[in-house]
Amino acid sequence: MHGTEVIIPTFSSFVTDLLEEKAEQYNQPAFIPMDPISIPHSFSVKQDIEIMGFWAAVLAWGQRKTIINKCHELSALMDGAPYDFVLNHTESDLKPFLHFKHRTFNSTDTLYFLHFFQQYYRQHESLEFAFSSHMQEGEETIENALIGFHNLFRDSEDFPTRTAKHIATPLRKSSCKRLNMFLRWMVRKDDKGVDFGIWNTIKPSQLVCPCDVHVDRVARLLGLIKRPLTDWQTAKELTASLKQLSPEDPVKYDFALFGLGIEGFAK
C-alpha cells in the first residue's frame, strides 16, 4: 500500500454508551430555555427563525444568560418581527441600533448585519441558499458552504473591515464554532424538538461539530481528538470520529459533549 495510511481510532463501549446516553439526556426541550437556541424558538416564521438563530449563534460567546438577554434586546429593537423589519426598515429606523453592543460586536457590525439581511432577503426566500449554493453534490462536509457564505457576506461596497472577524471561515483555519452551531440548528432533523431541521439541501451527515471549549476538553479526554491545536482541521477530526458512531447524524453528539463539559466531566 502506497502513501500514508490513515489510522482510524476505535472507541470503547464505555465511550459509545456514554455519548449515546448524554445525547439523549440533553437533546430534550428542557435544554432550550437556558441556551441561545431559545432565541429562535421564540418565533414560528421560518425567516424569523433564521435571522434570530443566526444572530444568536454569532453572539454566542460569554455567559449564556447575557447572550440571551442581548438577543432579546436585538429582537425588541426590531419590534419583535425580525423578517418584517429586515425587509422594510428605513434609515431612520436604524438609530436605536447605534447603541447596541455585545463584547466586541458593536453598532458598526450590527448595522452591516441589517444591511446584509435586507439585501439578501429581498432576493432570496431563505438564508439556506446563502450556504448551500456553494456546495457541490456529494461533498463530505459543509466546508465550501462556510467559505462561500463568508465571501458572500462581505461582498458589498459598504462592508466594514472590522466586521469580518465575526464571520469565521475555514480559510482562516477557524474551527467556525458559531456557524457550525447555527447550521446544526437549521439542518438537523429529529423528533426531540430542539434543533429545527427547516433546511433540506444540506444533509445532517455533512455538518461539522461545533468545537467550543467544553466540547474540545471532553472530546480530548475521550480520545475523539488527537490534534494539539483547536482549528478547522480539529473540528473535522472530531466529526470524523463521531461519524464512526453515527454516520448519518454525527453532530447529535454535540449535545453529549457540551453537556458533559457543563457537568464538569473533564475537569
Residues with Cβ within 8 Å of 65's Cβ and at least 6 positions away in sequence, in order, are 34
pLDDT score of 106: 97
Q: What is the rounded CA–CA span in Å between residue 263 and residue 89?
A: 43
Can you give the pLDDT of all 267 residues of the chain as single tens digits?
A: 444 444 445 678 899 999 999 999 999 999 999 999 999 999 999 999 999 999 999 999 889 999 999 999 999 999 999 999 999 999 999 999 999 999 999 999 999 999 999 999 999 999 999 999 999 999 999 999 999 999 999 999 999 999 999 999 999 999 999 999 999 999 999 999 999 999 999 999 999 999 999 999 999 999 999 999 999 999 999 999 999 999 999 999 999 999 999 998 865
Decide if 253 contacts 208 (C-beta within 8 A): no
pLDDT score of 264: 84
233: left (phi over 0), alpha (psi -120 to 50) or beta: alpha
Q: What is the rounded CA–CA span in Å between residue 36 and residue 70?
A: 10
Write the CA distances from 131 to 58, 151, 161, 206, integer angstroms: 15, 11, 21, 12
Q: Quickly tell me which residue has 446516553 as its cell.
A: 21
Q: Which three cell numbers stand for residue 186?
A: 437549521
Tell me the sheet residues that pair with 102.
105
Q: What is the rounded CA–CA span in Å between residue 15 and residue 54?
A: 32
Rounded to 5°, the CA angle 177-117-91 comes to 130
> What is the gyration radius of the CA atoms in the chain, in angstroms?
19
